[in-house]
Amino acid sequence: MNKKTIWITGGSTGIGKALAKKFANQGWNVAISARREKLLNEISENHENISPFPLDVTDKLKCKEVFEKIKNRFGEIDICFFSTGTWNPKKEKDIDVEQIEEVFKINFFGTLNSIKAVEEYFKNRKSGIITIVSSIAGYRGLPNSTGYGPSKSALNNLAESLYFDFGRSNVRVCLVSPGFIKTPMTDKNDFKMPFLKTTEYAADKIYNGLINGNDFEIHFPKSLTLLLKLLSLLPSKLYFSLIGKMTKYQKKN
């Protein structure tokens, strides 16, 4: 029996790295991509089921080339997990247009480039899973999030649109919305992160949701995500008031 295969972008650190190890330990072929080739090689050297495929997802042509290499290596691709992302909290407090453009280039368009690279393959295959990693920051607007939150909100909308488009070909589109997970990216935060979890915790939740579940959205930890989902349903005036108190945001008169 041939091993199943997953392609993970953003696989050199954080959730992507932990998920790569999780799937590899479950006997899957794992193709990992990221810009930092050295980190990819270090991971693959310690896990025989993991293979490195360096990639900058902002390069449309490279996304297609790398996917072709993965197909040639493994034949069938069962799951794609697109988790490339960037976040710079120090530059989110003001409107830094160039920074916001860079965030969207990586978080949104980098993910879109990856999806486009596999679109024809999955629609012809008529099975498989395309996974888009977003964030709880994409539910509604938050203080000091002029680029990251909007980029994740755009991914949420994209995932919902693609759910219909790929669903016609029997391909599952899945949205992953993590809460606060301890990664090099969240280590930049200068505020207390409620319900902070490990990358291993995240990998377990994602693996279970992809393999044993069939929901559109995998979100965790529920103690945080369900609260934020409830808050997102509130009228704007009440939402702003509650989020302001929770984040100690002070409105200037």
CB 52 within 8 A of CB 24: no
- pLDDT confidence bin for 246, thresholds 50/70/90: confident
- Greater model confidence, 99 or 251: 99
Rounded distance between C-alpha atoms, residue 131 and residue 60, angstroms = 18
CA-to-CA dists, residue 58 to 61, 64, 107, 129, 220, angstroms: 9, 11, 9, 22, 28
Residue 250 above 60 pLDDT? no
**More confident position, 86 or 208:** 208
CA 166/CA 76 separation, integer angstroms: 18
**Non-local CB neighbours of 31 within 8 Å, separated by 6+ positions:** 5, 6, 7, 8, 50, 51, 53, 70, 73, 74, 77
Which of 30-34, 67-71, 185-189 is predicted least confidently? Answer: 185-189
* Mean pLDDT, rounded, for 56-68: 98
> Given this model, what pLDDT does residue 253 score?
44
pTM value is 0.92
Between 51 and 145, the more confident residue is 51
Could you identify the residue written with the tokens 């247009």? Answer: 97
Question: What is the band of 1 on the pLDDT scale with cuts at 50, 70, 90?
Answer: very low
pLDDT at 165 over 70: yes
Position 249 scores a pLDDT of: 56
pLDDT tens track for 88-132: 777 778 898 999 999 999 999 999 999 999 999 999 999 999 999
Q: What are the structural domains of the chain?
A: 5-223 (3.40.50.720)
